[in-house]
């Protein structure tokens, strides 16, 4: 069965540190990949997504992610984090282009940025 | 613009009591609708999805059920709650544009005592 793995459960960084959150999926076919973010007290919102084309995708607030097909990975990066990036981050995969197009989520990574 | 609302935002219920969480979407027609549960340390688990009125698919066996009586209404129910039903429930919709992006509601926190 398909799965999405986020190995970092809780990451603590100081402001201006660089961030990389890992995401791996297990599925051999075509995938669409997403990163969602949930800021404290807010609803889940899309950070960035990959469908096709350039494997390096840029999202909101300076985030980017790189799709490496050979490694089944879609890691999230940001060169310099801010206190306001404190949130929970979810990687997600959808496996088909039609029908319900169900989104499967990883367990999430909680990021705490210390001022 | 499209909006999604779910209520109640917070619910405390005793074991064995019934449950009804409601979700409505405005500004779009014939959306795919989803119920997810977010449990601590376990991420988001897809519970149900619906591609149309009266069409419900369940992803995991459980004590819960879902219904879609109208195009833009999705209801999560239980006849008798269990302690393990506690969690944060999220409703989401996806449009027909097939971008794959889901739009989430504010969530409903359920505590079963």
pLDDT at residue B97 in the model: 63
User: Is A24 in CB contact (< 8 Å) with chain B?
Assistant: no
User: Is A52 in CB contact (< 8 Å) with chain B?
Assistant: no
Per the CB < 8 Å rule, is A100 touching B49?
yes
Averaged pLDDT, B89-109: 84
* Residue in chain B nearest A99 by alpha carbon: B51
Please provide the CATH number assigned to the domain covering A3-114.
2.60.40.10
Give the Cα separation of A39 and A24 in Å (integer).
22
Residue B107 has pLDDT above 70, yes or no: yes
Q: What is the DSSP letter of B61?
A: -
Below-70 pLDDT ranges, chain A: 1-2, 96-101
Q: Can you list the positions of beta strands (E) in B8-53?
A: 10-13, 19-26, 32-39, 43-52
pLDDT at residue A18 in the model: 97
Report the CATH number at residue B17. 2.60.40.10
Which chain B residues contact residue A92 at CB under 8 A? 44
pLDDT at residue A19 in the model: 97
* Residue in chain B nearest A39 by alpha carbon: B106
% chain B with pLDDT above 70: 96
Provide the shortest C-alpha distance from residue A82 to chain B (in Å): 24
Which chain A residues contact residue B94 at CB under 8 A? 101
Residue B99 has pLDDT above 80, yes or no: no
The domain of B72 spans 3-112
User: Is A43 in CB contact (< 8 Å) with chain B?
Assistant: yes
* B23 or A52, higher pLDDT: B23
Q: What is the DSSP letter of B72?
A: T
Which chain A residues contact residue B107 at CB under 8 A? 43
For chain B, the domain total comes to: 1
Give the Cα separation of B52 and A33 in Å (integer).
25
Three-state helix/strand/coil letters over chain A:
CCEEECCCCEEEEECCCCEEECCEEECCCCCEEEEEEECCCCCCEEEEEECCCCCEEECHHHCEEEEEHHHCEEEEEECCCCHHHCEEEEEEEECCCCCCCCEEECCCEEEEEEC
**Which is it for strands B10-13 and B108-112: parallel, antiparallel or unpaired?**
parallel
**Which candidate from B43, B59, B104 shows the least CB-CB separation from A106?**
B43
Tokens found for residue B102: 């889901």
Residue B40 has pLDDT above 80, yes or no: no
Provide the shortest C-alpha distance from residue A101 to chain B (in Å): 7
* Residue in chain B nearest A52 by alpha carbon: B99
Confidence of residue B76 (pLDDT cuts 50, 70, 90): very high
pLDDT at residue B109 in the model: 93
């Amino acid at each position: 069965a398909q799965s999405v793995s986020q190995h970092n459960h809780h990451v603590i960084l100081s402001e201006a540190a660089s961030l990389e959150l890992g995401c791996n999926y297990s599925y051999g076919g075509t995938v669409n990949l997403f990163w969602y973010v949930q800021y404290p007290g807010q609803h889940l919102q899309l950070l960035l997504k990959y469908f096709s084309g350039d494997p390096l995708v840029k999202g909101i607030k300076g985030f980017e992610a790189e799709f490496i097909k050979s490694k089944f990975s879609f890691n999230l990066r940001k060169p310099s984090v801010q206190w306001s990036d404190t949130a929970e981050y979810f990687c997600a995969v959808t496996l088909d282009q039609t029908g319900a197009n169900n989104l499967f989520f990883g367990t999430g990574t909680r990021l705490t940025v210390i001022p | 613009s499209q909006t999604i609302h779910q209520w109640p935002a917070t619910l405390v219920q005793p074991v064995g009591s019934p449950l009804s969480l409601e979700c409505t979407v405005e500004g779009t027609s014939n959306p795919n609708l989803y119920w997810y549960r977010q449990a601590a340390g376990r991420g988001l688990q897809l519970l149900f999805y619906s591609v149309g009125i009266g069409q419900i698919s369940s992803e995991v066996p459980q004590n819960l059920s879902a219904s879609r009586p109208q195009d833009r209404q999705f209801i999560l129910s239980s006849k008798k709650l269990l302690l393990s039903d506690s969690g944060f429930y999220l409703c989401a919709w996806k449009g027909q544009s097939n971008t794959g992006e889901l739009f989430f509601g504010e969530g409903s926190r359920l505590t079963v005592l």
